[in-house]
Structure 1
Amino acid sequence: MIDTPVLPSKFLHLKHLSVDLQAMTFPPTYDYYSLISLFDASPSLETLVMNVLQKKMLHKSVVGDTTHLRQMPGHRHDSLKTVKIIGFSFAKSLVELTCHIIENTTSLEGLTLDTTRGHPSYNCLTNNIGKCMLLHGDFMVEVRKGLLAIRTYVEPKVPSRVKLNVVEPCRRCHDQPLIIC
């Protein structure tokens, strides 16, 4: 079991943070939303990179969920400029965390949500063989659900001053319609 503790001290001078939570199957009991306490403890944080790539997403899904997203008002993050989430999925707590960042960060300039594996060799434009590495069918279904979560919950909240970059599998090599069952 993994838990993100509420930090009693502060990392006053921390400017760049990389959080690696990747696993074959990440525990569905982990609440990504709990990372807000880390932001509160790091008032100078400017750059956040999160790797949350997992082979199979077992967290509660935001897709098809009719309950409201959690909000934690009063938590401002006024130094955070750049956020990149590699392995973005349709996990409800991850979508909630992303929306929290968007809604409570006045300094945010760029948000990258990478629904792929995050490595350039998976892209046909950046590897030597001219074709994307194959992403298996189950992973592609999860990618499509992640893209649906971005379009439904994240994109409408992104202010015009923030550059949103959504990384998805190449349509040339992985052209399949977005169908969610």
Structure 2
Amino acid sequence: MQMISTPTLPSKFLHLKYLHITLNANEAISPAYDYLSLVSFLVASPCLETFIFVVQQTDMKHDSIVGDISHLRQLPEHRHDNLKSVTIVGFCSAKSMVELTLHIIKNTSSLQCLTLDTSFGSCGCSVDKPGGCNPMRRDIIEEAHRALLAIRTHVEGIIPSRVMLNVSGPCSRCHVVERD
């Protein structure tokens, strides 16, 4: 079993304004991985203006927040008041991913744009490309739909009016999953 952990940072990146983290796994990221632990990077970077987090994985084995009635965790308040733009590519319905997103929204007064991409970086539909979209596995499409539901349920209602929320998912024309 592969264990991944995000280290707590012993120092600060006092002048860091742009942070791009990519979590790339050829297998499933451990369900024990806590996306909320990435807050330590935000805390260590008080001047951070842009945060991009990309999750690339071939399989997902985490507990979805959809249908989960347990309490969402909250970290002690720590302001990220220079953060203007946050992008999460590979946004999924993992409870800790939603907790990370909620922490950012609730602790950032300067946030202008939040982009949540549930299509896991899959290119959108292209009318110039024969056959439409790049193929996506059924389980990835289903997870993307759970992630969209998590956004509607937990995120949309708390977005301040000053923040532009961009949500993207699988193409509804090419990636429809029929229910059995």
TM-score, scaled to structure 1:
0.91
Letter in 1 for 2:8: V
Q: 1:170 — aligned with what?
A: 171
Give the share of equivalent positions with the same residue, in percent: 55
Deviation at 1:130, TM superposition (A): 6.1
C-alpha spacing 1:43/1:30, structure 2 compared with 1 (3 Å):
same
SS of the residue aligned with 1:34?
helix
Q: Count residues with an aligned counterpart.
A: 177
Judged with a 3 Å threshold, the aligned counterparts in structure 2 of structure 1 residues 127 and 77 are, in CA distance, closer, same or farther, namely: farther
Paired letter, 1:22: N
* Kept in 1: contact 2:55–2:120 (CA 8 A): no
Alignment of 1:8-27 (within 5 A): 8-23=10-25, 24-27=27-30
Determine the structure 2 residue equivalent to 1:118.
121
1:88 matched to 2:88? The reply is no
Q: Distance in 1 between matches of 2:29 and 2:75?
A: 24
Hey, what does 1:55 align to over in structure 2? 58
Unaligned runs of 5+ in 1: none
For residue 4 of structure 1, what is the aligned residue in structure 2?
6
Q: Deviations over 1:93-145 (max 9, x none)?
A: 010000100110001000110011314xx322376336111212111111111
The equivalent residue for 1:136 is 137
Runs of 4+, deviation exceeding 4 Å: none
| SS at structure 2 position matched to 1:26 | coil
SS at match of 2:152: helix
- 1:139-159 deviation line (CA, Å, top 9, x unaligned): 111111111111101111111
Q: Which amino acid aligns with 2:164?
A: K
